[in-house]
Structure 1
Amino acid sequence: MNAIATEKPGTKIAIVTGGSRGLGRNTVLSLARRGVDAIFTYRSNQAEAAEVVQLAAAAGRKAIALPLDTGNTGEFDVFVHEVRKALDALDAERFDYLVNNAGTSHHALIAETTEEDLDSLYRVHFKGVFFLTQKLLPLINDGGRIVNVSSGLTRFSYPGSASYASMKGAVEVLTRYLAKELGSRGIAVNTVAPGAVQTDFSGGIVRDNPEVNRQVSEMTALGRPGVPDDIGPMIASLLSEENRWVNAQRIEVSGGMVI
């Protein structure tokens, strides 16, 4: 009987959007601890991005930070050109893992949401994910992995989150279609849906607002909100060879929120 396959030789490379802070940062560093190099994007804070590069180096891996507004598809061709240069610097022609993590928050009731609010969410959370993935498909290795980050809010409803959750729902459908269309290349595509996590997302409301923190704790089976260390290592694990047969799935990582 054949032994379970192990990781192929050679350093793996991941592209992580929104990798300078929060869940993206934790994912880059969790991958580094698993021996994976990274190309990650940041929106504007170069100092935060530089810190992630330094921390990855301290873990013995290389990380390259590239600026990108994932809501501006007009930047994508230039970005892909920069990715090719980054791959050259990593002595590679292709990469192995794509994590579509970058995002923005929005809180407003349906009756109060403007057209521009919805368009902005669409550009970042769906259109950007769709077309950035499309642009990068020629550079991802056969047998690679893609993870799209969604939200627990696609399963349960929380007033004021309809627009955001709807875009994440679209990404979950896109995930299944990507898995179907890329299956012939051996590329597995999954959704990771975090629950409420204590980061600076949404102005740090889960982390810094005691009342919100208490509410989340009460509706979560494990009794607390998540932290980045609950999510990044899980994504890194999902990308690994051990989980090669997981495909087209939505995996919620919420500590049992609203069950």
Structure 2
Amino acid sequence: MGGPGIAIVTGAGRGLGHATALALAERGYRVVAAARSAEAGEAAVGLIEDAGGEALALHLDVSDPRSISEGCAGLLPAIAEKWAGSTIDVLVNNAGVGQFAPLHEVSAADFDLTFAVNVRGLLLLIQALAPHLSDGARIVNVSSSLSRHVSPATAVYAASKAAIEALSRSLAVELGPRGIRINTIAPGPTATDFNGGAMRDDAELRHGLGQQTALGRVGEPSEIADAVVALVSPGMRWVTGERIEVSGGVLL
């Protein structure tokens, strides 16, 4: 089949997922761009193909268990037809939501949605795809620097990211006998469209958060994507169950 293999990126329609899908394609991966919006997934595929890469779109809502099971069932025949492939080599669980509110404003619905997308959806997707991962496959789960340091009104979001890290360590042991590596990337302040694009569009906010980092600025999506690419590379083959923070040294 050639190339380094097949990679799936969730939340590939925008932000860090979009940047990661493009970065993997640039390195020769055949990329499945999974997105809740079918249009966003197709747009990502178009950009990858325009740049000379290979990709296909997957309409996937990780908050919905049925969408996960049906999406995975349809994905495998699509991979076989397009690329004559039967296994997946890289899975990047990037899809996520942020519900930010102080304690007195947190609702049960906020909590349930955050954990349904950020934790349950991630777990169910790994479960559904595990039989189809190649031996030696790599899984990268996207956490946050907020699992290490505190910030007002982020309790539920930070808790969901800490849960991802604990889940990743456990699954690293469970899937380790197959040579499958599972790690988490924990981005710091990054100029994306996450949370309404506040950090990307608000120069004052970027400046303030940048001053909290050792490198004096917020990150760019491509810098997080490059870290993911590095983590799934052969040079990191002895790294699993780890949390790698990519934050420019925020709040050290």
Q: Is the 8 A contact 1:25 1:52 kept in 2?
A: yes
1:144-223 map, 5 Å: 144-223=137-216
Matched residue type, 1:79: G
Matched residue type, 2:135: D
Deviation at 1:187, TM superposition (A): 0.4
1:1-259 map, 5 Å: 10-44=3-37, 46=39, 48-88=40-80, 89-259=82-252
Q: Is the 8 A contact 1:87 1:95 kept in 2?
A: no
Deviation at 1:10, TM superposition (A): 4.7
Once the two structures are superposed, residues 31-84 of structure 1 have per-residue CA deviations (whole angstroms, 9 ceiling, x without a partner) of 1111101112111250x3233212212333211111111111122221111211
Q: Is the 8 A contact 1:110 1:163 kept in 2?
A: no
Question: Scaled by the length of structure 2, what TM-score is found?
Answer: 0.96
The share of aligned pairs that are identical, in percent, is: 43
Gaps of 5+ in 1: 1-7
CA distance in 1, matches of 2:43, 2:216: 32
Deviation at 1:11, TM superposition (A): 4.2
Gaps of 5+ in 2: none
Matched residue type, 1:196: P
The residue number in structure 2 matching 1:4 is: none
CA distance in 2, matches of 1:13, 1:36: 6
Once the two structures are superposed, residues 216-235 of structure 1 have per-residue CA deviations (whole angstroms, 9 ceiling, x without a partner) of 01101111111111111110
CA distance in 1, matches of 2:97, 2:177: 33
The two structures, once aligned, show a CA RMSD in angstroms of: 1.4
CA distance in 2, matches of 1:242, 1:52: 28
Question: Scaled by the length of structure 1, what TM-score is found?
Answer: 0.93
Query: How many residues end up aligned between the 2 structures?
Result: 251
